[in-house]
A and B are shown apart, each in its own frame.
Chain A
Amino acid sequence: MRVPAKFRSVSIVTAFAALSCTGTVSGDGRIGAKPTAGAAGAGGGAAAAGGGAAGAGGTSVGTAAVAPPPASWRRLTASQYRNTIDDLFGPGLDHGAIEATPALDGFSTVGGAQGAASAYGVEQFELAAQQVAAQVVADAARFGRVIACAPAPRAFDSACARRSLASFGRRVFRRPLTDAEVDRYEGLWRAAAAPAGFAPGAAAVVSALLQSPKFLYRTEYGQPVAGTATRRYTGYELASRLSYFLWNTTPDDALLEAAARGALDTDDGIRATAEAMLISPRARAGLDDYFAELLRLDDFGLADEASRNLPPSLAAGMRRQALLDLDDIVFDRDATFSELVEGTTTHVDAELARHYGLPTPTGTGFVRVTLPQDGPRTGFLTFGAFLVKSGNGLKTSPVRRGKLIREGLLCQAVPPPPPNVDASIPELDPSAPRTTRQRLEQHRSQAGCSGCHALMDPLGLPFEIFDASAKLRATENGLPIDPSGELDGQPFATPRGLAHLLATSPKLDACTVSRLYRYASGAASDADDDRRLAPLREAFRASGGRLRALILAYVGSALFLQASDPS
């Protein structure tokens, strides 16, 4: 279905290649053909054509003359806001309630870069700023981070106010303040101090800084490069880009100093800085949001899980397991990222091990364990964060599992059901036991459904060997479970087989590149993305599929360092 031309300029074209249910992948990564009612189950080869934003990796595509993504003005995500407040004033203060940032293309960073705060969201920023400011001036240690000097008693100490604004203001705006800005904030400070005193006056200044669009939004517009149509980000902008990407928070003094002395003005300098930042323990916490959104964990294992009918500690453990596994792959071992789906180890505690039927680990808490080589479990798709999250804890959802694999791992969007097609299944004898596969076979015999379901069901049904709580089961309704399936014409016998096909698929690598770029850039995808990302796909492949290498290749590339004019 096409987006009408009048909306195309504002609509967000996705990161996904849209699958068509008739056996082709749209080449431009934009808008797929609508699902075709009555298409015979022609799923085989549906995604084989490559193409699209997630096209086959390693394809030799010309990279010349692909413009970098447009300059951006990005709202801090809710977690970036909270992390930043902690860094500015020290941890442990009450941040106040902040509006959640909508996830767009699965990432709140993209939502923050494309939308604006609601009126209520702005109200919340105002109240939060007042609350934070009041806590800061009431606490000598926190207040010490704001003022750079001991103010003279009695009369308003203009010099001290200006020195403080220069140093603290730079932390807040992530760049030095202009003289006009120092004047403006000093004026506010002076006015607020007149009735109340220097410190309460500072509360007004802190409150204003934290509400300024120069703080809440990252203005990354760069400077035009003479003789070209592109812009290059300034050192301070790059400090922010690196910091929010890798640490999910505001640049620290050292990074701002590096920007000030020009250390971020060269590609080598950027790369060295990024390497150091990735080694820092802050990177683990910094990429937590990315990993959680990449795996589509939502609030699984965090919030009220009553509706998933699982003990909260178990759901929380499944979430932790998935994130520990990714930390292990990326940070501890710098291993091939595809171990996410085909791995030989995982992290469990005693409760999880019992649940999964794995040997009880020695030691307390979560420990890394080696999985049985011929067992049913390998990688993310065979554990709770995927198996439980995709259902409701009581029933499995093979269709949703298949859809998540297409969308989350292969960056292929499965079209929704066509309108006005009756998707109900004619009732068979309800007393005769059937497996989910048998029921879905019937579903797939429906003309309006078969095309798209052929893309999802063969990927999801093999996981029926796991029940809705991710436990292994031998039978369903007393009947044996067929764990086989096929991925775009390639048959496999078990979920392990699917994991292997996925782990060795260039489409998984291409999708990994595309997702990382989408999260880091916040950019809306466009038709140039496939060509834009070709060098990164090559670098990723050359590194043996290591995420750290991909990150370093990205931050050293024009995609990270340069911008086109804003739209």
Chain B
Amino acid sequence: MRTTKLGLSRRKMLRGMLHGAAVSVALPRLDAMLNGNGTAYAAGASLPRRFGVWAWANGVRLSRWVPAKTGAGFPLSDELAPLGPVRDYVSVVSGLDLPFGGRSHAAGNCVFMTGQPLAGTNDADYTFPSASLDQAVAAAIGPTTPIRSLELGVTDAPSEEKGTAFHWWSHTGPNSPNRCNFDTKAVFTRLFGAGAVTPAGPTAVDVTQAMRRSVLDVVAADAADLRPMLGARDRARLEQHLDGIRAIETRLGATGAMRGGASVSCASPPAPPALVGSAVDYDARVKLINQTMAELLALALACDLTRVFTYQLVQPGTEVLIKSVIGGAPAMTYDAHDLSHMPDGYSADDPLLHTIVVHYMSELAVLVQALRAMPEGAGTLLDSCGILAANDVTDGPSHSYKSFPVLVIGRAGGRLRSGVHVASAGNVLRVPLTVARAVGHDALASFGAREGLTSDPLSELLV
């Protein structure tokens, strides 16, 4: 059997990095607490809906991305083929444009997540002009979960020092990114380790919960001293910081009573292996980390530790070198970003340009399958999710934002139609608006500004 440098067989890896936890886990939400149909709590409250953003980078080959037919049961295109096993949950939106055009790769994630153009003037300082959509959705649908929103990443490839928009899809404000966590061990610790608040209640830590609260009271009192002294802009930054303090207080106050009961699996699932910094090349590592992150995310959602996530397979304009996909020298001299720009010697239909997209979609399929493997109520976790999968440009050679490629994954508790290809025209920001409302941010009347402004959901995506 072929084994990786970590000594893990491929078969074992695919069976579940959490030692089988994701497939053997008892229903985190006890059936006894649900109604007869498994669609809601016995007391009448609905199952939570979840919102996610999944990001790849550097565009697609539109000719090989857009499915040949529209509607339900559309045939998967070449580049979407890896999603075959989960196709019933995947909708494709094509033909809609990202407004404001582009100035750089960072424009894609910024406009898609804020509905506004980049703030800043150049690569070194491009940032979001405001908080991103996921943060608004989190405030609306998950204000009491232990973690407001979870940001996960798979590859932290080296890149130039650039503004925050060049790296991150989630922001709480200008220059205030929610960085993705690339370290599976750290993510696990945050979710389930010492100090974490799980559905079964706080886990054992040396410092008592009461003492942590007392400490935070003093921190808050210090902040109250500062508040009247600070200028308006700095006061807003202080409030952003205090949001983090309040999130900890929420976690400390969480009893678990609302959270699916005392499932053993939620209280102490097995820890994943540490993968960051291991001497494994990108190819092996990305598979290991992606599989593990996907399973951790599924557990976090199932245990209702959070209802909102951002999952960056790669950073905008990523320069990773994907050896097994791109192949050996001389092609290896080009990284993923170079190749997307169709360097000298490559034609538009070069298989390499397309193979990278297929690689990204196969990694997306891993995540979708991990969510589908988690039973919940009468269905699976995926039934409750509304996930936007998007990237930073339409295609590399032109840095175009026309016909911006977007996937919508999951059924948002029965509100999203899945498994359809919607071809349309106009403003692609209708898609995030649609999904944000479908997962429960009903108060979101509109999304975007100026020519990006829309208050018009894409009805073809709604049930």
Q: Report A's interface with B, CB cutoff 8 A.
A: 1, 3-4, 7, 10-14, 16, 18, 30-32, 70-73, 97, 99-100, 102-106, 111, 114-123, 126-127, 129-130, 134, 180-181, 184-185, 188, 191-192, 203-204, 207-208, 211-214, 216-217, 219, 221, 293, 296, 298-300, 303-304, 306-308, 392, 394-395, 407, 413, 415-425, 427, 430, 439, 442, 468, 565-567
Contact at B164–A102, with CB atoms within 8 Å? yes
Closest to B119 in A: A11
Contact at B347–A211, with CB atoms within 8 Å? no
Contact at A566–B234, with CB atoms within 8 Å? yes
- For the complex, give the distance between the alpha carbons of A214 and B122 in Å: 32
Contact at B399–A567, with CB atoms within 8 Å? no
Q: Is B32 part of the binding interface, using a Cβ–Cβ cutoff of 8 Å?
A: no
Q: Is B127 part of the binding interface, using a Cβ–Cβ cutoff of 8 Å?
A: yes
- For the complex, give the distance between the alpha carbons of A416 and B231 in Å: 34
Q: Which residues of A contact B223 (CB under 8 A)?
A: 212-213
Q: A204-B215, A296-B160, A392-B333 are in contact. Are A419 and B176 (CB under 8 A)?
A: no
Q: Is B37 part of the binding interface, using a Cβ–Cβ cutoff of 8 Å?
A: no
- For the complex, give the distance between the alpha carbons of A421 and B176 in Å: 31
Contact at B122–A307, with CB atoms within 8 Å? no
- For the complex, give the distance between the alpha carbons of A219 and B237 in Å: 12
- If A12-B120, A123-B190 are given as contacts, then 20 extra A-B residue pairs at C-beta distance below 8 Å, sorted by A number, are A3-B119, A4-B450, A14-B121, A14-B125, A104-B163, A104-B175, A105-B124, A116-B240, A119-B172, A120-B181, A121-B179, A122-B248, A126-B248, A130-B207, A214-B222, A221-B229, A307-B282, A413-B122, A430-B345, A567-B232
DSSP majority for the B interface?
loop
Contact at A11–B120, with CB atoms within 8 Å? yes
Contact at B345–A427, with CB atoms within 8 Å? yes
Contact at B129–A567, with CB atoms within 8 Å? no
Closest to B231 in A: A566
Interface size class of B (residues with CB under 8 A): 35 or more
Contact at B161–A103, with CB atoms within 8 Å? yes
Q: Which residues of B contact A422 (CB under 8 A)?
A: 397-398
Closest to A430 in B: B345
A-binding segment of B18-26, B99-107, B256-264, B381-389: B99-107
Closest to A118 in B: B178
**Residue among B158, B241, B243 making CB contact with A308, cutoff 8 Å:** B158
Q: Which residues of B contact A18 (CB under 8 A)?
A: 121-122
Shortest CB-to-CB span from A203 to chain B, Å, is 8
Q: Is B391 part of the binding interface, using a Cβ–Cβ cutoff of 8 Å?
A: no
Contact at B206–A134, with CB atoms within 8 Å? yes
Q: Which residues of B contact A216 (CB under 8 A)?
A: 241
Closest to A71 in B: B231
Contact at A211–B215, with CB atoms within 8 Å? yes
Scan B203-237; emit 1 where CB is below 8 A from any A CB, else 0.
00111000110111011011101100111111001
Shortest CB-to-CB span from A421 to chain B, Å, is 7
Contact at A120–B176, with CB atoms within 8 Å? no
Q: Report B's interface with A, CB cutoff 8 A.
A: 101-104, 116-117, 119-125, 127, 129, 147-149, 151, 157-164, 167, 172-179, 181, 186, 190, 195, 205-207, 211-212, 214-216, 218-219, 221-223, 225-226, 229-234, 237-238, 240-241, 243-245, 247-248, 277, 281-282, 319-321, 329, 332-335, 341-348, 397-402, 450
Q: Which residues of A contact B215 (CB under 8 A)?
A: 129, 188, 204, 207-208, 211
- For the complex, give the distance between the alpha carbons of A534 and B247 in Å: 46
Q: Which residues of B contact A105 (CB under 8 A)?
A: 124-125
Q: Which residues of B contact A308 (CB under 8 A)?
A: 158
Contact at B240–A10, with CB atoms within 8 Å? no
Contact at A114–B174, with CB atoms within 8 Å? yes
Contact at B238–A213, with CB atoms within 8 Å? yes
Contact at A104–B247, with CB atoms within 8 Å? no
- For the complex, give the distance between the alpha carbons of A419 and B172 in Å: 27
Q: Which residues of B contact A118 (CB under 8 A)?
A: 172, 176-179, 244
- For the complex, give the distance between the alpha carbons of A118 and B103 in Å: 26
Shortest CB-to-CB span from B247 to chain A, Å, is 5
Contact at B175–A12, with CB atoms within 8 Å? yes
Identify 11 residue pairs between A and B in the complex whose beta-carbon atoms are under 8 Å apart, listed by A's number: A10-B233, A11-B119, A14-B125, A126-B248, A203-B207, A213-B219, A213-B223, A221-B230, A298-B160, A306-B281, A566-B230
Closest to B215 in A: A208
Shortest CB-to-CB span from A414 to chain B, Å, is 8
- For the complex, give the distance between the alpha carbons of A192 and B213 in Å: 11
Q: Which residues of B contact A300 (CB under 8 A)?
A: 158
Q: A119-B149, A120-B151, A307-B158 are in contact. Are A420 and B101 (CB under 8 A)?
A: yes
- For the complex, give the distance between the alpha carbons of A32 and B121 in Å: 8
Most chain B CB within a 10 A radius of its CB, from A16, A102, A425: A102
Contact at A416–B123, with CB atoms within 8 Å? yes
Contact at B244–A119, with CB atoms within 8 Å? yes
Contact at B121–A13, with CB atoms within 8 Å? yes
Q: Which residues of A contact B281 (CB under 8 A)?
A: 306
**Residue among A104, A420, A430 making CB contact with B402, cutoff 8 Å:** A420
Contact at A204–B214, with CB atoms within 8 Å? yes
Contact at B124–A122, with CB atoms within 8 Å? no
- For the complex, give the distance between the alpha carbons of A181 and B335 in Å: 54
Q: A102-B177, A184-B221 are in contact. Are A120 and B207 (CB under 8 A)?
A: no
Closest to A403 in B: B123
Contact at A293–B241, with CB atoms within 8 Å? no
**Residue among A117, A129, A293 making CB contact with B244, cutoff 8 Å:** A117
Contact at A104–B158, with CB atoms within 8 Å? no
**Residue among A119, A213, A217, A219 making CB contact with B148, cutoff 8 Å:** A119
Closest to B348 in A: A424
Q: Which residues of B contact A32 (CB under 8 A)?
A: 121
Contact at A121–B244, with CB atoms within 8 Å? yes
**Residue among B124, B176, B179 making CB contact with A116, cutoff 8 Å:** B176
Shortest CB-to-CB span from A145 to chain B, Å, is 20
Q: Which residues of B contact A134 (CB under 8 A)?
A: 206-207
Q: Which residues of A contact B124 (CB under 8 A)?
A: 14, 16, 103-106, 407, 413
Q: Which residues of A contact B402 (CB under 8 A)?
A: 420
- For the complex, give the distance between the alpha carbons of A430 and B247 in Å: 58
Q: Which residues of A contact B233 (CB under 8 A)?
A: 10, 566-567
Contact at B219–A211, with CB atoms within 8 Å? yes
Q: A126-B248, A192-B214, A424-B342 are in contact. Are A97 and B186 (CB under 8 A)?
A: yes
**Residue among B104, B119, B218, B400 making CB contact with A7, cutoff 8 Å:** B119
Contact at A204–B399, with CB atoms within 8 Å? no
Contact at B121–A419, with CB atoms within 8 Å? no
- For the complex, give the distance between the alpha carbons of A99 and B151 in Å: 13
Shortest CB-to-CB span from A198 to chain B, Å, is 15
Contact at B125–A293, with CB atoms within 8 Å? no
- For the complex, give the distance between the alpha carbons of A424 and B164 in Å: 27
Q: Which residues of B contact A117 (CB under 8 A)?
A: 176, 240-241, 244
- For the complex, give the distance between the alpha carbons of A103 and B161 in Å: 7
Closest to B164 in A: A102
